A and B are shown apart, each in its own frame.
Chain A
Amino acid sequence: MLISKSIHFKYENLPPFDLPDLHLNPGDELLVLGKSGSGKTTLLHILGGLLKPQSGDVIIDGTSIYSLKGNALDKFRGEKIGIVFQKPHILSALTVMENLQIANYFVGKNKQNTIEKNLMELGISDKKSAKLDTLSEGEAQRVSIARALANEPKVILADEPTASLDDENAENVIRLLKIQAKRLQAVLIVVTHDQRVKNHIANQLTIGEVYR
């Protein structure tokens, strides 16, 4: 389902990263721990098809994603990979519902039912026509999860999803991510340095010390 092989990445003027090889099956969970600057986010961007590594392969659902060109990669990302960021990044000009519909539109699908169901399960179906500035942090983060799930992805990547949330919301968010990943039989990778998340995901990987 998700395989990464001998990934080597280097930013200009910084020492290179060599990122661990991964092999995850549908429904697997992985918690990636590490201090800031350890390359966690870089790893996530590489796995999410946002940042092309100097060498190595990322294979999702049988496709080597960096062999895809331009629009094909964007569409593949939209369809197969759901990404949740530390900050919610809701498109400010759109309502909650439109934020989710636009994700459908970008990959040429219409999954209104899925959207409605996700909103229900995430407990924000009453916020459908709200805009970003009327949502609380926790609600906004749940919207961003709903958006990541809008196209029923095969891989869910979460970058510090709980960092700006209080204990209760953090707990909720991680629980929802797990439930949804299970339901979709998707690979869930959470990158964090948040100790509160540790107890929820058993499969853990610490980067930064060895690979830096």
Chain B
Amino acid sequence: MNLLKLSWKYLIAKPLNTSLNILLLALGLAIITVLLLMQDQFENKMTKDAVGIDLVIGAKGSPLQLVLSSVYHIDFPTGNIDLEEAIGVSKNRLIKNTIPLGMGDNYQGFRIVGTNHDYLELYAVSFAAGSPWKKPFDVVIGHDVATKLGLQVGDTFVGSHGIGSASHDHDEHDYVITGVMEKQGSVVDQLILTSMESVWFTHDEDHDHALMELPVTTTGFPETTEPREITSLLVQYRNPIAAVQLPRFINSRSSLQAASPSFEISRLFELLGIGVTLVQGLAVIIIVISGLGIFIALYNSLKERKYDLAVMRTIGASKGLLFRHILLEGVLLTFLGALLGLLIGHLFLLILVVNYDQGAIAGLRADVFLVEELYLVFFAILIGVLASLLPAWNAYRTDIAKQLTK
């Protein structure tokens, strides 16, 4: 027998009351846990995906949409831009390097992105099997695409028009998988990458079969005799001055728009921040109510327990021991609540990730633990102490003789 066991026994003597309080606290803490986990991972992922991309150039529209679609591949593109124009811009002396992107098709919801080998280099991609594309309609697929669709090198598939769900199939030409990428922990895990040429040829009405056998461009822009379009251009600055001059220069031209990923993303988080703060506020209110609930439960139970406490004193318990006994009860309650809260939080995120295997949620992990979660546990324990301080003080002051003669 010890104090911990004693407090525990009194908790489970009132199972309904105890579990209600634990659950309430756990709920509040679970909400905060999910927010913490998502915020942390989103920010990490967003930063990681945008490394090396200083600017995105695309068709006019929402700059945020342009960044979301071209860097994170979660929103729809703003439209296409003329290839000639893109080439013209890329010759600007402030630009060190550009990577063209061409979008518009998907396979089973995974985006097919036309680009060149520079894109693979940008994300430092390594291959689990096979090698990068060399001919039109060769593709390499991300790790998640491979595992979720069960594809491997040598498999073929037909792309569908559109970004999300299929409208009509491009059934004239099968894509051939030449490579499967290793897990990168970035956006490429969710992508099907191919050459710019593949994207163009898919959408052509008539097919020149001789072209299909030529090797594709691996860096820079493909050479073409026809007027072609691309979706966007990922830009790397040559020097810091570019950050000041280049966006203004491009945006002043009528047909193009430039958007900075870091700027747009901090704007996005600012917008989301209001919602996050709201949910956080709700969680705090739930936690405060649960703290109040614990206080009331302990305070009320003390009225019935004064007799028990007096009896404990007669068999040798000191005042200080009774104080610790009640305090421990509150702390035990909130500690359990905290553990349950973390568990629920992680489980909730797991369910979310499992159910939404594509898009923004995909790539989040439920099995990541943060230091902040440890702070949450301490925070919960603090609530336990605060809620049980007054009841514990009352226990401390119990007048034995008076209680026993009542």
| A residues apposed to B, CB below 8 Å | 41, 45, 48, 50-51, 70-71, 74-75, 77-79, 83, 85, 89, 91-94, 98, 101-107, 147-148, 150-151
Contact partner of A102 (CB less than 8 A), chosen from B307, B313, B315, B319, is B315
Nearest B residue to A49 by beta-carbon distance?
B314
Q: Which residues of B contact A92 (CB under 8 A)?
A: 13, 308
Q: In the complex, are the beta carbons of A98 and B315 less than 8 A apart?
A: no
* Interface: B316 (CB within 8 A): yes
Nearest A residue to B9 by beta-carbon distance?
A93
Q: A95 → chain B, closest Cβ, in Å?
A: 9
Q: In the complex, are the beta carbons of B316 and A89 less than 8 A apart?
A: no
Q: In the complex, are the beta carbons of A78 and B317 less than 8 A apart?
A: yes
Q: A148 → chain B, closest Cβ, in Å?
A: 8
Q: In the complex, are the beta carbons of B315 and A71 less than 8 A apart?
A: no
Q: In the complex, are the beta carbons of A50 and B9 less than 8 A apart?
A: no
Q: A94-B6, A147-B315 are in contact. List 17 more A-B contacts (CB 8 A).
A: A50-B313, A50-B314, A50-B401, A71-B319, A71-B320, A74-B317, A77-B314, A77-B315, A89-B307, A89-B311, A92-B308, A93-B13, A102-B1, A102-B315, A106-B321, A150-B315, A151-B316
Q: In the complex, are the beta carbons of B1 and A70 less than 8 A apart?
A: no
Contact partner of B2 (CB less than 8 A), chosen from A77, A78, A105, A148, is A105
Q: Which residues of B contact A94 (CB under 8 A)?
A: 6, 9
Contact partner of A104 (CB less than 8 A), chosen from B1, B3, B10, B308, is B1
The 8 A CB mask of B1-24 against A (1 = contact, 0 = none) is: 111011001101100000000000
In the complex where A71-B320, A92-B308 touch, is A106 in contact with B315 (Cβ < 8 A)?
yes
Q: Which residues of B contact A70 (CB under 8 A)?
A: 318-319
| B residues apposed to A, CB below 8 Å | 1-3, 5-6, 9-10, 12-13, 307-308, 311-321, 400-401, 404-405
Pairs A–B under 8 Å by Cβ, sample size 25:
A45-B401, A50-B314, A50-B400, A50-B401, A70-B319, A71-B318, A71-B320, A74-B313, A75-B316, A77-B316, A78-B315, A78-B317, A85-B404, A91-B311, A92-B308, A93-B12, A94-B6, A98-B1, A98-B9, A101-B1, A102-B1, A105-B6, A106-B316, A150-B315, A151-B316
Q: Which residues of A contact B400 (CB under 8 A)?
A: 50-51
Q: In the complex, are the beta carbons of A91 and B321 less than 8 A apart?
A: no
Q: Which residues of A contact B314 (CB under 8 A)?
A: 48, 50, 77, 83
Q: A134 → chain B, closest Cβ, in Å?
A: 14
- Please provide the 9 A-B residue pairs with the shortest distance between their CB atoms, ordered closest to farther: A78-B316, A106-B316, A93-B13, A101-B1, A71-B318, A51-B401, A74-B318, A105-B1, A103-B315
Q: How far is the CA of A103 from the CA of B314 in the complex (A)?
A: 9
Q: How far is the CA of A75 from the CA of B319 in the complex (A)?
A: 11
Q: How far is the CA of A92 from the CA of B400 in the complex (A)?
A: 18
Q: How far is the CA of A51 from the CA of B9 in the complex (A)?
A: 29
Nearest B residue to A148 by beta-carbon distance?
B315
Contact partner of A45 (CB less than 8 A), chosen from B9, B317, B320, B404, is B404
Q: How far is the CA of A67 from the CA of B30 in the complex (A)?
A: 53
Q: Which residues of B contact A150 (CB under 8 A)?
A: 315
Nearest B residue to A73 by beta-carbon distance?
B318
Residue of B307, B401, B404, B405 with highest tally of chain A CB at under 10 A: B404
